[in-house]
Structure 1
Amino acid sequence: MNGKKVLFVSSELVPYLPENPVSLMSYEAPRMVNSNGGQIRIFMPRYGNINERRHQLHEVIRLSGMNLVINDMDMPLIIKVASIPKERIQVYFIDNDEYFKRKATFADADGNLFPDNDERAIFFAKGVVETVKKLNWAPDIIHVHGWMASMLPLYLRKYYGDEPLFADSKIVTSVYGKGFEGELDTAMIDKISFDGIDKEEIKAISTPDYNNLLKIAVDHSDAVILAAEDLSEDLVNHINSLSKPVLPYVPLQEAEEAYTNFYNQEVLKID
């Protein structure tokens, strides 16, 4: 990985949110690349339950200030950064008061999914790409973790398909176990097609449940990592039908060697 640039885009990340399979691997994978000579950037949403004072988040004025259009609405983009001290890893946070100020991640106190989770996912995807463009940092690999990041492969390939900064970037999506029950807003397909993306490309999310969001992500990725043992048969069958490089599930203690080999021997060699 020496000198290679890897962009990690994640729904969750320790130490900013509680530990779970997504947040833990979203920390461990960048740490692995960092320790093997790679260059990294990490992006995640700035949920309102992240303690900004404790983690010393601060706004980056030169990266903030633009508006992103989400379903014909102008939504201000705010960028904050913080560092994971012991690893010397910098994390970029995508923020917007309308979408991320509430003191929770994906659901309310009663466990009900936030009704705008679909728009939050679209905003997050666009916000990441626009910020990386401002940084003028061309990643060799873009590694996606968690369902809130699942729109990134689609938007990179279809909405930002002519963006030269990402022309040679390879997209890897890690697929985890069930991320949420139920569905997001059924109008999600219309909100994405508003951005000029053909509904045929995204017909799976006419039913926007967890499996279908991940299907859209892997459809527009170059390679896939199975990050859990308990994936649904439907999702596994879909992944296996795509003829793309797939890294089978490996436990955390074996991940460094497996991920590094997969990046080097499979992902970076995709034509």
Structure 2
Amino acid sequence: MKILFACSECSPFAASGGLADVAGSLPAALQKEGAECRVIMPLYGSIGLQWRAGMTFLTSFGVPLSWRVAHCGVFTMQYGGVQYYFLDNEQYFKREGGIYGYYDEAERFAFFSKAVLETLTHIDYEPDVIHCNDWQTALIPVYLNVFYREVEKLSRTHTVFTIHNIQYQGQFGLDVARDVCGLPEWAIGKVEYQGDLNMMKGALEECERISTVSPTYAKEILDPYFGHGLDPILRQKQWKLCGILNGIDTVGYNPSKDHALAAHFSVRKPEGKALCKAALQQQMHLPEQPDTPLLAMVSRLVSHKGFDLVRYAMENMLREGMQVVILGSGEAQYEQFFADVQRRHPQQVAYTCGFLPTLSRQIYAGADFFLMPSQSEPCGLAQMIALRYGAIPIVRSTGGLADSIIDWDTPGGGNGFTFQSYNADDMLGAVRRAMGLYHSEYRAEMLPRALKCDFSWRRSAKQYMAMYLGI
């Protein structure tokens, strides 16, 4: 089976969030299950010369988009056993800032969606399934059914659409559907929702299967609280909706070989974990105290990640005698809060503003616990990475956190500490249970139980293959 994985970001080439991690590891896992999976993404100006040097130019052509024809160049390369296609248009993708957040987002990704299909008419590749991801590729199923079903090469192609975060839907004024996206009048209804253009709604209508990144999230988004206005559409389309839990790249995230760490460790040789903790305490200018529990947070500092709970409970958490390390940036109110807490408690709190990939791995490896009190979390990868590096997650049981973290006190054993309601006192109760474990005779169970967890892509890839074959 031939799968074309269409995405707006992919690690290691261009990344801003969890989608890049998925796009960078799921295709390789699908190949191991027997699929021929290729990836197609924009050629951003930020993609470095070290990658461009390995690319080969294939072809170029014009992409009809409303009243204009836009240039598209196609480059390709092999990486990690997967073939990648990069679509080049400097007007849309050579930008000085990040990969998102521009005034012409609708036009940029309407072009990309149309160019994906146009590319398939110019290269020697005929996918059975185009797997689209989030709103940036949501117009692919729409364009396929409106413009390309009469093309022999694409007449049998199926589409799958994965919702990584339903909060971001690609919503614009309805005139954009005509003047920018170039949809004919008879097709406007496919993307119109509540008087606006909603690209994700178009994908939900036109694709043949809808997936989300965890089974619990697939249920949650049917509810108005989580559905961000699309829950009525999803309830209508529930027959084609499923949830498949993401995995992580267990080769890239491997504490027994990670060059970023002060020492390596594994289930059989766990001694290096203590050395990583000592190195992190030294690096963060915290007292080197091996018996003091160290709790970490690595996240975007935004409200739906639960930082209002952390702000409310932080002083009580610190009274438990722990050290806290935070890495992240986002809303100014949270950046200022953590900077202020660090000034008031320099012996217990270390905050680094921004995202530093090497430091994030060192934090995972040095931490005893990892806090994720999310208000909503479609899947979450950080809790899986934390367990991979021997840190016990403390999470609110929502979305993928509910599917991946089992409470420690569950009969048969768990792999973390959970709380149910979005409440600071409930979060504090879970933190205190974790501290109780740390200071008990059962502390020795923490590291081996964490390191034995398997969140590789193997199981998820089999589920995706079953979904593809069931179309």
Q: Which TM bucket (shorter chain)?
A: 0.7 to 0.9
Structure 1: distance between partners of 2:31 and 2:44 = 25
Residue aligning to 1:49: 46
Residue aligning to 1:263: 465
Rg bigger for which structure? 2
Structure 1 residue 239 corresponds to structure 2 residue 234: yes
What amino acid is the match of 2:14?
L
Unaligned runs of 5+ in 1: 108-112
Report how far residue 29 of structure 1 moved.
1.9
Structure 1 residue 63 corresponds to structure 2 residue 59: yes
Structure 1: distance between partners of 2:128 and 2:156 = 7
Report how far residue 38 of structure 1 moved.
1.4
SS of the residue corresponding to residue 135 of structure 1 reads coil
1:114–1:63 CA distance, 2 compared to 1 (3 A): same
Report how far residue 248 of structure 1 moved.
1.6
Instruction: Give a deviation string over 1:203-260, Cα, whole Å, max 9, x none.
Output: 128524xxx3222112111101112547532334422311443222424226532442
Structure 2: distance between partners of 1:205 and 1:103 = 34
1:52–1:159 CA distance, 2 compared to 1 (3 A): farther
Q: Is the 8 A contact 1:48 1:105 kept in 2?
A: no
What amino acid is the match of 2:201?
K
Q: 1:217 aligns with which of 176, 187, 203?
A: 203
Residue aligning to 1:176: 164
Please say which of residues 230-239 and 46-55 is displaced more in the overlay: 230-239
Structure 1 residue 131 corresponds to structure 2 residue 128: no
Structure 1 residue 156 corresponds to structure 2 residue 147: no
Instruction: Give a deviation string over 1:137-194, Cα, whole Å, max 9, x none.
Output: 2211111113211111111111112122122222111101156599446532113673
Residue aligning to 1:199: 188
TM superposition score normalised by structure 2: 0.49
Count residues in correspondence: 254
SS of the residue corresponding to residue 6 of structure 2 reads strand
Please say which of residues 131-140 and 49-58 is displaced more in the overlay: 49-58
SS of the residue corresponding to residue 48 of structure 1 reads coil
Please say which of residues 160-169 and 41-50 is displaced more in the overlay: 160-169
Q: Is the 8 A contact 2:107 2:180 kept in 1?
A: no
How much identity, in percent, do the aligned residues show? 20
Structure 1: distance between partners of 2:207 and 2:3 = 15
Residue aligning to 2:34: 37
Structure ranking higher on relative contact order (CA contacts 8 Å, 6+ apart) = 1
Q: 1:114 aligns with which of 102, 122, 125?
A: 102
Report how far residue 31 of structure 1 moved.
1.0
Residue aligning to 2:24: 27
Residue aligning to 2:267: none
Report how far residue 119 of structure 1 moved.
1.2
TM superposition score normalised by structure 1: 0.82
Please say which of residues 50-59 and 215-224 is displaced more in the overlay: 50-59
Q: Is the 8 A contact 1:193 1:199 kept in 2?
A: no
Unaligned runs of 5+ in 2: 248-454
